[in-house]
Structure formats: C-alpha cells, structure tokens
Chain A
Amino acid sequence: MDPLRLTGAVAVAGLGVVSAAGDGADATLLSIKANRVGLHECDRYRDVLHMTNRVGAVSDRIWTILCGPDAVPADSRTFQLANRALAEAVRQAGPQLAEVDAHRVGLVLSTTKAEIDALGSLVAGGHCSDRSRRHILASQLAADLATANNALGPLQCVSVACISGLLAIQQGARLVLAGIADAVLVVGVDVLSHFVIAGFSALKSLDPCGCRPFDKDRQGLSLGEGAGALVLVRSDLASAPLATITGWGVSNDANHLTGPSRDGSGLALAIERALRMANRTPDSIEYINAHGTGTVYNDRMEALAFRTVFGGRSPWVASSKGLLGHTLGAAGVIESAICILAARVHVMPGTPGFSRPDEDAPVRVAAIPRCSVPYGRILKTNAGFGGTNSALVLEVAPP
C-alpha cells in the first residue's frame, strides 16, 4: 500500500522559541550564526547527585521576565516557558491564524516530565503553587496552554521520550490533514530539574565538559531546557508560509530500552519512511539536523543510519545540542524551528562543541555555520529511550 503523499498539505505559519540559545527567533538566529555553545555551569543545579551542572539553561534574565523577580518557587515554569514560545509563534502567524475559528484551532503539547519539580517538592513534603500542582499532569498543562491561547479545538498531549517533539508536529499535521482542525498550535517544553539531571547522572550519560556531538572525544550528553512552538495551518490558509511539512516516519529499534541500536537500522527505517511519504529521494535532502546528543552510541548509531540511507553522498549533518543542550520533549519542536529559521536566511547551522572527526562514526559534520547557502529540503531526526526513532521532512519556503 502506498503511503499518503503530504506534499504541501500542511504549512508552518509561525514559530517561537525560548532556550539557552536566547529568547525569541532573532536572538536564536544570532546564536546559530555565531555557532555559540549554550552550555554553562549553573549554580542552581549544583548537587552531589549530579555528574555535572553544565547545562543549557534559559538565562536568569528571561526567567525573571517570565516569573517576576520573586518567582521562588516559580509558578509553573513549564507553562511560562511554553506560553512565551507560543505567543511569539502566534504573533508571527498573524492573520493566517486570526482568521481561523477558535474551535478549529487545536493544540498539541510535547513534554517528557511537565512540571516535575512540583512533584518533587510535594513528595519531599514541601509546597507548590496550585497551577504548578495542576501542571504535574501533562494533560492539564496542555489544557491550560490551549485556553490561554484561545485554541478551543482538538487537544493532545504527546509523551514518547525524546521523539515527543517530532511526534507532536506529526500529530498537529494529522489533525489538519484529517480536516479535524484548520490550524494547530504545536508546542514542546521541558525544563531543567533535579529529577532529570539526577536521572541522567545515575545512567552516567552526561559529559562534564559539555556535549560534543559527533566528536571523537565525546563522552555524553548535556541537558537543556526550553520551549518551541510552531503554528501549523492548512496550506490554502497560509498566505506567508515559512515551511511545509511533507513527510514523517517513526520506528522502533526493538532492541534495548535505553541504548540505541548498534546498527542504526531503526533510525534508517524511520528516515526511509519519511522520505517515502514526502516522495523524495535521499539525494534531494540538502541538510540534516540530527539528534546528535554527544553520547558515544547515539552518534555512532546515527552515523550508521545516515550511511545506510544516503550512502557516501550524505548531505551536511549538524547537531544543535551544543547550543541548546538536550531539551528532551521539546527537542523536536525547538530544533525544527531552528532549521526553519536558519534556512529562511540561507544559513546552514553548525555543530557547536564539535572539533575532531570520529573515524569510527564517519559523518559529514557541518562544524561551523555556512552563510549564503540557499537550501530548503531538510531532514530532522530524533531518537529516544524505548528504542524510538523519528524523522521529519521539512521544505522551507524562500522568504
């Protein structure tokens, strides 16, 4: 059975992002162009149970704007961050969204841990605000974000480890494609917390020096926090589309719960599925924004997957984890937003933290950003715990 072709069916009409790379699209683009490493030691996360406190944190200045100077304990940091990204995306979409009946506007949230700090506080016998308590449940966080943004249509909350963000984009596109919604606000958010840093420390997955994706000396990942938002609309409603969603693929390694497959076949399968849906051949892809966490096995697995699909003619591959840290459930949305932002101004993002190629995992790494490179066909990949893999094909419209 031939998969449905999606070409041009769903457009991206607006985007927003808040992360270690900056507050908003303009600040993020400056960081991309500078190939900035966004990972720093953060006193808030100094703890005997943490392998490192070098993380991709949203700056204190932004947190103060979001929560106020006395925002301790913060009032649902996930809501504040996600709402900030949504506001920017909605503003950019402008009339393309404003003209849609609010009951035909859906919202899809991706997150792995929602307001996990609040749960930690309660379990320790402490307190948290009522809203933080509500947002321990991801579905209630999604509901409040939808209400705040007048999205009264279908509501979904996706939680599939580190591919959650890419799945949320796919779910949003499905809602538009199926005629269930005319527009969908897709938002991904996860914040840094003792929970996740202690968890990845327990797994010994963190690089104390900061992640170095695809680098010969890479030792692990760095955690990050942030929110990304995309406004998806039916393409005939998009008067000024930024990009179109043309294909996606999802697969499972069926191999190991926390480790990637050793041969990359699961991710290769997801990429092949995405290309088939997009009706694109491998050689038509001009840039890959990889998962690129900086762990030894993830990056090797990705390199093998790219070799399987693209052979010796791989397009440039980059990872944004050195700029952002690994933002978990938000990663797919933020990194897709970065791809669109950069391609719109003909900048091909580099790989902050990368310096020495790994002969064991050869991949054509874009070490530094390339400017004045017109390109538009992008593959975005993510993989995660549970052996999950996902790929998304984006086609970026010229400005």
Chain B
Amino acid sequence: MTSEVVALAASYMTPEGFGSSALGRRPWMDGHGKPCERKELMGIPWLSLFSAPCPRFGRMSPLTRLGLMAVELLDVGFADMTEEQRTDTGICMLSPFGSMATDIEFLREIGPATFTYTLPSSVIGEVCIRHRLRGPGLCLMSEEDTGRSIVAEACERIAMGEAESMLCLVCDAPGAEIRDLLKYALDQNGKFWWYAYALYLVRTDTVRGPGKTVAEMVSASGVDLCGMCLDLCGNR
C-alpha cells in the first residue's frame, strides 16, 4: 500500500526548533533574536507562525495548539483545494499521553472551556474546522509506537479508497507533573518534552510534481514518522 502513496509535505516542532519541507530547519529565537537551545512550550511565538488569523487559538489546549501549528507549517494550501478534495482529506493522529495535561487542569478548575479539550481528538476537530476537512479521522494512543503505525493507517485509508489524501500527525505535550503522578522513572529521549510532527500524504496517481513515495522513505531510512518528517525537512 505504501508504494501507492506519496509524501508531499512534512513539518515538525520540537523544543530544539521547527521546520517544514518548504522552510527547512529553523531554530527558535530568544527575546534578543538569538537562537536558543531549547524552547519551553509556553514561550512559543505562536501567532507569528500563522499566515492567516486563527480564531480561538488562545483558548486551545497546548496539545491542540501544537497539532494545529504543525499542520499550519505544512503549508499545503488547503485554501486552494476544491470542496471535493477537502471532503476526501482525513487525519490519522498518534498521541501517547493525549490530553492528560488538560485533564489535570480541568480537575483543578472545572469549566466548560477546559473540558472541551480533555479529548486528544480535539486536535483533529480543530484542524478539520480550520481547513474544512471532512475525511476520516483516527486517534491512537500508544507509548511504544512512534508514528509508523499512523503512516500505515493513513496509507491504508488512501489505498482502500476511503480518502484521497491524509494528514499524519504525531504530537504530545505532557508535563513533568504527569511524570511524577504516574511515577514514571523514564525521562530519556525527551519523552516528557513536547513535540509535533506532521506529514501530508496523497495517492500517487493524483500527483503531478515530485514527491517521495512512503515506500521509498521507509526503505531509505527505515525510520518512523518523526524520522520521515525530519528527513523531508532536511534535518538529518
């Protein structure tokens, strides 16, 4: 199935930087305009990254902001798509800890605005609303998987004719509090840091320009979705 699918765009956001297949790799800047080593999630200059206004962004959970922003960075040109193309574009997402940070916030202060974001799939909802995408959605939760299964799920939906194109999204925004509450000893590999990776996949026969097939990317790097995104962003 992977040979029938082409990756047209990729993006990422991590504490070290952000980028896309169009932009390349960019470091975060500090308040003085100098590159910084690691950026806290709360310090991201979100609004400067949007090309068009994003209503309600300030009310969204950190996880939702991350997912939405990663898709924004793809710069796929959803606005130029036909209604039919948007109807046939879906999203497969993976998030190990999902909305747990927002769950904690809600437990501390109960309110409707926070409750709305106590589902990891709220990311899918916000992306679909912003870009008017009406295709199939899926959100998996797994600590073991780093996104390969999500790419497979997206490819399968395209191959089965359920969608013409798919966004793949891996994002997480847990905090140190979750590590402490769950008694996690492991903090290696930045597991409790935030990150978002996005990949835009389309059926091979609908593409006119260049694009690596998913099969080529997997065989070339043998890596997961995060690795594919970094490859496409020129980060390796």
> A residues within 8 Å of B by Cβ?
1-4, 49, 112-113, 116, 119-120, 122-124, 133, 136-140, 155-161, 167, 171, 174, 178, 195, 198-200, 202-204, 249-258, 266, 269, 273, 277, 384-388
Q: Which residues of B contact A113 (CB under 8 A)?
A: 103, 118
Question: Complex: how many Å from CA A112 to CA B103?
Answer: 11
Question: Complex: how many Å from CA A137 to CA B106?
Answer: 17
18 contacts between A and B (CB under 8 A): A113-B103, A119-B104, A136-B100, A137-B97, A159-B120, A195-B107, A198-B115, A203-B112, A203-B116, A250-B138, A252-B124, A254-B129, A257-B126, A257-B129, A269-B87, A386-B137, A387-B128, A388-B137
Q: Which residue of A lies closest to B118 (CB)?
A: A199
Query: Nearest chain B CB to A122's CB is how many angstroms away?
Result: 5
8 Å CB contact of B121 from A116, A198, A255, A388? A388
Task: Knowing A137-B143, A139-B96, A257-B126, say if A202 contacts B183 (CB, 8 Å).
Answer: no
A385 touches B121 (CB 8 A): yes
Question: Complex: how many Å from CA A123 to CA B181?
Answer: 8
**Of B15-23, B154-162, B210-218, B226-234, which binds chain A?**
B154-162
Question: Complex: how many Å from CA A269 to CA B182?
Answer: 41
A139 touches B160 (CB 8 A): no
A257 touches B181 (CB 8 A): no
> B residues within 8 Å of A by Cβ?
86-87, 90, 96-98, 100, 103-104, 106-108, 110-112, 115-116, 118-122, 124-126, 128-129, 131-144, 149, 156, 160-162, 164, 181-183, 203
Query: Nearest chain A CB to B98's CB is how many angstroms away?
Result: 6
Which secondary structure characterizes the binding site on chain A? mixed
Interface centre among A133, A136, A137, A200 (most CB of B within 10 A): A137
Question: Complex: how many Å from CA A161 to CA B107?
Answer: 19
Q: Which residues of B contact A178 (CB under 8 A)?
A: 156
Task: Knowing A116-B103, A122-B181, A123-B107, say if A386 contacts B87 (CB, 8 Å).
Answer: no
A4 touches B134 (CB 8 A): no
Query: Nearest chain B CB to A107's CB is how many angstroms away?
Result: 12
Q: Which residues of B contact A385 (CB under 8 A)?
A: 116, 119, 121-122, 125
A160 touches B121 (CB 8 A): yes
A255 touches B129 (CB 8 A): yes
Question: Complex: how many Å from CA A195 to CA B100?
Answer: 12
8 Å CB contact of B132 from A122, A254, A258? A254
Q: Which residue of B lies closest to A201 (CB)?
A: B110
8 Å CB contact of A266 from B104, B110, B134, B143? B134
B133 touches A250 (CB 8 A): no
8 Å CB contact of A202 from B87, B115, B125, B140? B115
A198 touches B110 (CB 8 A): yes
Q: Which residue of A lies closest to B162 (CB)?
A: A3
Task: Knowing A159-B121, A387-B125, A388-B124, say if A254 contacts B134 (CB, 8 Å).
Answer: yes
Q: Which residue of B lies closest to A1 (CB)?
A: B161
Task: Knowing A119-B104, A161-B121, A386-B121, say if A252 contacts B182 (CB, 8 Å).
Answer: no
B124 touches A158 (CB 8 A): no
Q: Which residues of B contact A167 (CB under 8 A)?
A: 138
Question: Complex: how many Å from CA A254 to CA B91?
Answer: 12
8 Å CB contact of A160 from B108, B111, B134, B138? B138
Q: Name 10 extra pairs, CB < 8 A, besides A119-B100, A254-B132.
A: A157-B142, A159-B98, A199-B110, A199-B112, A203-B116, A250-B136, A255-B129, A257-B129, A385-B119, A386-B122
Closest 5 CB pairs of A and B: A386-B125, A250-B136, A199-B115, A3-B161, A252-B128
Query: Nearest chain A CB to B54's CB is how many angstroms away?
Result: 14
Question: Complex: how many Å from CA A167 to CA B162?
Answer: 14
Q: Which residues of A contact B125 (CB under 8 A)?
A: 252, 257, 385-388
Q: Which residues of B contact A202 (CB under 8 A)?
A: 110-112, 115
Question: Complex: how many Å from CA A124 to CA B104?
Answer: 10
A159 touches B134 (CB 8 A): no
Question: Complex: how many Å from CA A155 to CA B182?
Answer: 22
